[in-house]
């Protein structure tokens, strides 16, 4: 960040750095560590550097702490150090001056809330959503859409809106898509479906049927042949294989027609595409995830780029033949598994489109950072793609290619979340059910509200609940999906944060009705101070999401703010306080409203001013 930071920790760190430079000139020391105090009785923060410094300096840590204390200039920032400030083996306890807190709150209190886009930050692509044609969005796409959207929102805030490009790498090409296209064309020719009115639900069914139709027993035949298991069983298998083999051949022929731009095939494919994307993007919209038609650049988008790319890799000796397929070896990157970029049958695969994607994103789109928000189970795939891209020079050597992997959503039985029939759960049904649970909760809380208002609140609460649940756990961890728990207004939940925000807005509305105005900040009470210190660390929490790609960092910080606000609300009467306390507290409450509102918006949670 280029603007002066409001973060007290950073300011203290700077002061300690200067003290270290003055006390121990010319000696290389580890970076200074200042952290929130473990026990607020002793101070707000503590510097823990005396111990590691002591090791480097060969001196007792308490002496090092004293030497640092002797050199440090805390003017205007923290209370002067006393003998009692140094504790235990050499912790230095620090208490901020209230005037310093007030001044920093004033700096934070701007439209940008202390977050200033870095003009030097590189263009960044966020790969998100990644749905597949002819399939309903299922629970697996919740995370790629919600986490991806959140990371994009945060990065937009940190580096500027025009520097973040969302890319939806839709699975819209290849043999499976050709299978469903071929089957759909047959059904249409037989007058069994109407392409004009077909729904994604129907396509989903046709997709499954087409897979079954093409389910050959080639593997078993090869096995029987290899083992010479007898002519009878072979004949049986070959008879059973006739229909699926024909269907598969038909699908392959359809793929060739699709690839060569055959108008009839293309028309049906396009219809599948349009129906799928309309439904999926509507589901994203329900989740408040910004995934729009212009973000789609799926496998088909790279179709024409694949053959020349692969040819070039062959020419340069980067892709080599192995067993009829083309591969890129990655041993020099410590990856023993080579990546396959062309199958034995000449077809390109998933990895090939991703290589073309790296080239396009770092070339045409000029991105220097590409963030892939995709399931952890694809970790090896991305390792391979990134290594192969570097090896082949498909991106600049300093391009940052990052996989932001996420864990699996589990049902309440602790197993991957499945529907009763064992299929993956459809995302629309998940949202419906969350709305039902939220409605029950809202009705019990506000029995007297008109039903339409109850419903509006329930819908907002449901989205907040789903998104927050998905974002609040460390990304890589699996988590259990519990409708009842996530819609609760107590505990570390989305609705709890919505209520906290609504409370700040409610107080502001009452103050306004009484003609009260907020004044400058004047922190006094410990609960005011605790809240203020968290607010001052808000920009840092947002920054941390940008570097770690870990939205849970922001969730945890907002949750702490909501708790601190609740304590402030109970401990420090606002409207009934006398001046000047009242207007100073109102200022703190208003700033909390803005920080919470900003943070929740970065998490993509819709806000309610009143609940």
Q: 296-335 mask for ligand ARG (x: CB under 6 A)?
A: ----------------------------------------
Nearer to ligand ARG, 259 or 378 (CB): 378
Nearer to ligand ARG, 104 or 383 (CB): 383
Using the rule CB under 6 A, is 166 a contact of ligand ARG? no
Nearer to ligand ARG, 174 or 494 (CB): 174
CA 257-360-332 angle, 5° bins:
105
Q: Say which residue the tokens 């694809």 belong to.
A: 378
Using the rule CB under 6 A, is 130 a contact of ligand ARG? yes
Beta-carbon contacts of 511 under 8 Å, excluding residues fewer than 6 positions away, are 518, 574, 575, 586
Using the rule CB under 6 A, is 96 a contact of ligand ARG? no
Using the rule CB under 6 A, is 151 a contact of ligand ARG? no
- Applying CB under 6 A, which of residues 100, 203, 374, 587 lies at the interface with ligand ARG? 374
- Applying CB under 6 A, which of residues 132, 210, 352, 454 lies at the interface with ligand ARG? 132
Nearer to ligand ARG, 407 or 606 (CB): 407
Using the rule CB under 6 A, is 127 a contact of ligand ARG? yes
- Report the C-alpha gap between 466 and 154 in whole angstroms: 18
- List the interface residues with ligand ARG, window 337-356 (CB under 6 A): 354
Nearer to ligand ARG, 170 or 438 (CB): 170
Using the rule CB under 6 A, is 169 a contact of ligand ARG? yes
Q: Of 373, 391, 395, which Cα lies nearest the Cα of 382?
A: 373
Using the rule CB under 6 A, is 148 a contact of ligand ARG? no
Minimum distance from CB of 112 to ligand ARG (Å)? 32
- What is the helix, strand, coil percentage profile of the chain, to 5? 55, 10, 35
Interface size with ligand ARG, residues (CB under 6 A): 9
Q: Say which residue the tokens 């000047």 belong to.
A: 580
Q: Of 277, 298, 129, 275, which Cα lies nearest the Cα of 202?
A: 275
Minimum distance from CB of 605 to ligand ARG (Å)? 24
Strand order in the sheet with 45-47: 34-36, 45-47, 91-94, 86-87
Stretch that binds ligand ARG, among 12-20, 124-132, 407-415, 485-493 (CB under 6 A): 124-132
Length of the chain in terms of residues written: 611
**In the beta sheet, which residues pair with residue 416?**
410
Using the rule CB under 6 A, is 357 a contact of ligand ARG? yes
Nearer to ligand ARG, 43 or 130 (CB): 130
Minimum distance from CB of 135 to ligand ARG (Å)? 9
Using the rule CB under 6 A, is 149 a contact of ligand ARG? no
CB atoms within 10 A of CB 610: 10
Minimum distance from CB of 237 to ligand ARG (Å)? 32
Using the rule CB under 6 A, is 171 a contact of ligand ARG? yes
| Contact by Cβ (8 Å): 59, 66 | no
- What totals of helices (H) and strands (E) does the chain contain, helices first? 21, 13
Distance from the Cα of residue 593 to its chain's centroid:
24
Task: Write out the DSSP string of 314-364.
Answer: HHTTSEEEETTEEEE--GGGT--SPEEEE-TTS-B-HHHHHHHHHHHHHTT
Backbone angles phi, psi at 394, to 5 degrees: -80, -10
Q: 254-293 mask for ligand ARG (x: CB under 6 A)?
A: ----------------------------------------
Binding site for ligand ARG (CB under 6 A): 127, 130, 132, 169, 171, 354, 357, 372, 374
């Amino acid at each position: 960040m280029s603007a002066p930071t409001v973060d007290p920790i950073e300011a203290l760190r700077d002061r300690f750095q200067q003290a270290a430079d003055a006390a121990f000139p010319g000696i290389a020391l580890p970076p200074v560590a200042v952290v929130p105090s473990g026990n607020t009785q002793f101070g707000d923060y503590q510097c823990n550097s005396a111990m590691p410094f002591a090791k480097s300096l060969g001196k007792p840590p308490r002496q090092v702490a004293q030497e640092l204390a002797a050199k440090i200039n805390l003017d205007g920032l923290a209370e002067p150090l006393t003998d009692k400030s140094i504790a235990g083996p050499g912790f230095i306890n620090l208490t901020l001056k209230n005037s310093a807190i007030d001044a920093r709150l004033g700096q934070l209190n701007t439209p940008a809330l202390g977050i200033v886009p870095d003009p030097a930050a590189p263009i960044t692509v966020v790969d998100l959503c990644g749905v597949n044609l002819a399939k309903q969005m299922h629970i697996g796409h919740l995370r790629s859409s919600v986490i991806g959207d959140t990371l994009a929102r945060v990065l937009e805030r940190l580096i500027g809106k025009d520097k973040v490009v969302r890319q939806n790498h839709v699975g819209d090409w290849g043999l499976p898509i050709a299978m469903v296209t071929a089957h759909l064309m047959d059904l249409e020719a037989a007058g069994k479906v109407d392409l004009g009115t077909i729904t994604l639900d129907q396509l989903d069914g046709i997709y499954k049927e087409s897979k079954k139709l093409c389910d050959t027993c080639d593997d078993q035949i090869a096995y029987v042949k290899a083992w010479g298991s007898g002519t009878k069983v072979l004949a049986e298998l070959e008879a059973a294989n006739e229909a699926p083999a024909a269907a598969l051949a038909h699908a392959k022929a359809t793929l060739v027609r699709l690839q060569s731009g055959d108008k009839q095939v293309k028309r049906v494919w396009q219809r599948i595409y349009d129906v799928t994307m309309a439904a999926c993007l509507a589901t994203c919209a329900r989740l408040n995830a910004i995934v729009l038609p212009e973000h789609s650049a799926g496998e088909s988008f790279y179709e024409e780029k694949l053959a020349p790319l692969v040819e070039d890799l062959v020419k340069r000796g980067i892709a080599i033949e192995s067993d009829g397929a083309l591969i890129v070896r990655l041993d020099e990157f410590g990856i023993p598994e080579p990546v396959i970029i062309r199958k034995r049958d000449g077809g390109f695969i998933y990895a090939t489109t991703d290589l073309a994607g790296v080239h396009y994103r770092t070339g045409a789109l000029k991105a220097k950072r590409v963030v892939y928000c995709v399931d952890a189970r694809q970790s090896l795939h991305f390792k391979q793609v990134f290594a192969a891209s570097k090896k082949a020079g498909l991106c600049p050597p300093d391009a940052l290619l990052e996989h932001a992997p996420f864990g699996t959503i589990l049902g309440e039985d602790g197993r991957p979340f499945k529907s009763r029939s064992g299929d993956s759960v459809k995302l629309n049904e998940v949202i419906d059910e969350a709305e039902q649970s939220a409605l029950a909760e809202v009705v019990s809380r506000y029995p007297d509200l008109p039903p339409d208002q109850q419903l509006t609140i329930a819908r907002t609460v449901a989205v907040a609940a789903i998104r927050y649940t998905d974002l609040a756990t460390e990304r890589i961890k699996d988590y259990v999906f519990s409708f009842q728990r996530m819609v609760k207004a107590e505990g570390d939940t989305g609705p709890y944060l919505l209520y906290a925000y609504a409370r700040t807005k409610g107080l502001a509305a009452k103050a306004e009705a009484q003609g009260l105005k907020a004044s400058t900040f004047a922190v006094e009470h410990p609960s005011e101070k605790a809240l203020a210190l968290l607010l001052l660390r808000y920009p840092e929490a947002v920054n941390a999401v940008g570097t770690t790609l870990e939205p849970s960092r922001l969730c945890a910080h907002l949750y702490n703010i909501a708790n601190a606000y609740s304590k402030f609300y109970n401990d420090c009467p606002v409207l009934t306080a006398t001046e000047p306390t009242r207007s100073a507290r109102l200022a703190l409450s208003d700033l909390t409203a803005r920080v919470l509102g900003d943070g929740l918006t970065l998490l993509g949670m819709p806000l309610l001013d009143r609940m």
